[in-house]
Structure 1
Amino acid sequence: MDGLFSGKGFSGNIKITQKEFLQLRDIIYELSGIFLNDNRKFLIENRFAPRLSELKLNSYSEYINYLKNHSKGKTEELAMLTELITTNETSFFRDNPQLKVFRNYTLKKMIDEGNKTGRREIKIWSAGCSSGEEPYTLAIILHEALKEDIRKWRIRITANDISTNVLKMAEKGIYTKYSLRTTPIPIISKYFSEKDNNIYQIKPEVKRLIKFGKINLNQDRSVKMVPRSHIVFCRNVIIYFDKDMKRKVLSGFHNNLLDNGHLYVGHSESLHAVTDKFKPRQHAGTITYHKI
């Protein structure tokens, strides 16, 4: 890669033409299923300029050529593309009303049924886990709900994301105080080890419940390899998809979920007029969806 563009200087304020924008948009959609509306040209210019600088490219046409003609570069750039056009703004215990419903309704029902039947198994898929705050939050909630009985249960949280970089952060389980801004202090004391300079590390008993891995929700083969789940969390992900891609992703979730499975999406996301594979249920402060 170093020799492909040698001798070319970078000019800082590169504008993207409409033709280049459409070409790049098509590539992004093909690779990730993320669709950019016409009004996102400024986002591309604003976020991609440093990347073009790193690659010593003078135009978006050169970048598009690089993506199209070099398969190795295409693979490496996929994670970079998605990081540039999405926002990994997250924290532990984000959207507490939704988590309260998960804890007091979905999880309680599963625990009661498991204790009654003796089939004590909980399988959760965190699809679009970003830097790990969501799956770790779910693991902590499981610890809080089951307490010492957690050893009697078979628990697996599958946590996936398209970005290699955020998955590396998630696997380390090390966070700043900012990531814990919505976390109750007793929870921090119980499930994190405090390091120097307000750095916190998740404890091993939480970490062991989770298996991280890379996934592209636009690739059927990858989605089909995810273990079947009782619950799928996919919050603030489908907002980046157009209707066709939403249908595809939601169909994948439907196939993954076991009978009577539960789906949680972001509080600003809705399945209305997108799919009829799930039945919505209204709760105080949030909506959950159930496999039909």
Structure 2
Amino acid sequence: MSAVKAITSDDFARFSEYFYRKTGIHFDDSKRYFVDRRLTDRISATDSHDFNTYFRLLRLNPSGSETQVLTNLMTVNETYFFREAYQFDCLTDFILAEVVRYKRAGDPIRVWSMPCSSGEEPYSIAIHLMEKWAQIDRYEVEIFGSDIDTTILASAQTGIYSPRSVQGVPPNQMKKYFTKLRDGNWQICQDLRDSVEFVRTNLNEPADLSRFSRIDVIFCRNLLIYFDDMSRRAAAEAFYETMSPGAFICLGHSESMSRISSLFKVRRFGSTIVYQKPLPGEASA
């Protein structure tokens, strides 16, 4: 097979605009090598010969399957258990105490991890709640894990992790919740695998978001850094619509909702900053 022609600047611009409309993820020129390499690989894999042929396939594929394959390749999935654990402490020490004040008997508490990557974050939340929240048995807790990458979601559902991924899990919790496999990896127990509902979600697709409602806590950490200002605002508004009044959203340490949207109240618990959807009659400021 002949070599694929180099991706031109015009090709890159056309693809970047298409991918942005589909996902909200913005690629600038600093990502040229990363994007070009993956485009070239898919051009070869689909026998498209050149960018124009492949781009036609990408746009006109009725099932959207090729767009999903490329999306899986273009997204970054690097995480580990109990990453930025101070926010999990904030969840059990402060946030949930406020959330339950507005719950009636039998109401579920809904926690959403987006993006959840290979599952470390939602499973960390589940373990932390089991270990640190004294009221866990009084409420039905529903945990959702979402990502745009279908391959990584399939990995999350298996719950198998490398020693590096679980190195932050305390030994007693490793013994309690994990089983060591013959290849040296670790698998999280079936009960915890069953406790998280994983679902493919694209924040740019209203149909994907329609399944989420009355969410009480969202962990959206290190996603919005890949968006431009317009996509960040749209994401903030989408999250806002899925949340219960008084619900909270936790961002990554380098992200600030105050620079994105005025919809949320800034809340500080100790040294941890989170953002809250105002209750009826409250102002966001």
Q: TM-score, structure 1 length as denominator? A: 0.87
Residues 64 and 151 from structure 1, CA distance in 2 versus in 1: closer, same or farther, beyond 3 angstroms?
same
| 1:168 paired residue number | 154
Selected match of 2:236 from 240, 250, 256: 250
| 2:252 paired residue number | 266
Selected match of 2:131 from 139, 144, 161: 144
Match of 2:210, as an amino acid? K
* Counterpart mapping for 1:75-224 below 5 A: 75-110=64-99, 113=101, 118=105, 121-146=108-133, 150-224=136-210
| 2:29 paired residue number | 38
CA distance in 2, matches of 1:180, 1:98: 18
CA distance in 1, matches of 2:173, 2:97: 20
Aligned residues: 278
CA contact (8 A) 1:34 1:241 kept: yes
CA contact (8 A) 1:98 1:285 kept: no
CA distance in 1, matches of 2:254, 2:129: 25
| SS of equivalent to 1:156 | strand
CA distance in 2, matches of 1:78, 1:183: 36
Residues 182 and 47 from structure 1, CA distance in 2 versus in 1: closer, same or farther, beyond 3 angstroms?
farther
Q: Give the C-alpha shift of residue 151 in structure 1.
A: 4.0
CA contact (8 A) 1:230 1:258 kept: yes
CA distance in 1, matches of 2:207, 2:99: 29
CA distance in 2, matches of 1:270, 1:37: 21
Q: Give the C-alpha shift of residue 288 in structure 1.
A: 0.6
Match of 2:205, as an amino acid? Q
Match of 1:128, as an amino acid? P
Residues 144 and 110 from structure 1, CA distance in 2 versus in 1: closer, same or farther, beyond 3 angstroms?
farther
Q: Give the C-alpha shift of residue 108 in structure 1.
A: 4.4
Post-superposition Cα deviations, 1:140-178, rounded to whole Å, max 9, x if no partner, equal 11111346x644421111211111111111111111212
Selected match of 1:49 from 40, 55, 61: 40
Residues 90 and 10 from structure 1, CA distance in 2 versus in 1: closer, same or farther, beyond 3 angstroms?
farther
| SS of equivalent to 1:193 | strand
Residues 10 and 229 from structure 1, CA distance in 2 versus in 1: closer, same or farther, beyond 3 angstroms?
farther
* Counterpart mapping for 1:17-36 below 5 A: 17-36=8-27
Structure 2: gaps of 5 or more residues: 279-285
Q: Give the C-alpha shift of residue 27 in structure 1.
A: 1.4
CA contact (8 A) 1:224 1:252 kept: no
Q: Give the C-alpha shift of residue 70 in structure 1.
A: 2.4
Match of 2:162, as an amino acid? T
CA contact (8 A) 1:33 1:245 kept: yes
* Cα root mean square deviation, aligned: 2.2
Residues 243 and 114 from structure 1, CA distance in 2 versus in 1: closer, same or farther, beyond 3 angstroms?
closer
CA contact (8 A) 1:175 1:199 kept: yes
Q: Give the C-alpha shift of residue 214 in structure 1.
A: 1.1
| 1:238 paired residue number | 224
CA distance in 2, matches of 1:284, 1:214: 34
Structure 1: gaps of 5 or more residues: 1-8
Q: Give the C-alpha shift of residue 212 in structure 1.
A: 1.0
CA contact (8 A) 2:58 2:67 kept: no
Identity over the aligned pairs, expressed in percent?
A: 30
